[in-house]
Amino acid sequence: MFTYAGGAETLHALARTHYGRCVADPLLSRVFGTEPHPAHVDRLADWLGEVLGGPDRYTRLHGGHHALLRKHAGRGITEEERQRFVEIFFESADEVGLPPHPVFRKRLREYIDWGTGIALEVSHQAIVGDTDGPVPVWGWGQAGPPVG
């Protein structure tokens, strides 16, 4: 899915566009702040790349799955904010030209819904316990979240 999406360059453009919209959004500015954090775009692009089967940059450079969970702990994300995040994600995907192929978009939506559900859950925990699970890799044919 990484290659089909357009690779690292396209996913970086997606992360930049999406993050810019989140920071500017009146609802999401509570979660993201109103001032951009310079490293966020690179982290998001690396995460998306790894999740979609690309290089393991998020794991190597940013600490892997547990680090991502820790970043969301205690943020108190609401369901309305989660839904708005997803909406902005797909607006951004359209803007940067991610392929509109129905199977690709279906799998991408399944991942974003699944992943933001975890972020929502973790955001209501003060701390995240130790976990050494790998970054989930989302593929073309799975009926649900990846196993392992």
The two three-digit tokens of residue 52, written as one number: 């979609």
Q: Closest Cα partner for 82 from 125, 45, 112?
A: 112
Query: Mind listing the domains of the chain with CATH numbers?
Result: 2-122 (1.10.490.10)
Residue 28, SS3 per DSSP: coil
**Among 27-31, 39-43, 126-130, where is mean pLDDT lowest?**
126-130
Residue 63, SS3 per DSSP: coil
Half-sphere exposure (Cβ direction) of 98: Cα atoms closer than 13 Å: 28
DSSP letter (8 states) at residue 39: H
Q: How far is CA 119 from the centre of its chain?
A: 9
The pTM for the full model equals: 0.89
Read off the pLDDT of residues 74-100 as tens digits, 9 standing for 90 and up: 889 999 999 999 999 999 999 999 999
Predicted pLDDT at 146: 55
Largest CA distance in the chain: 39
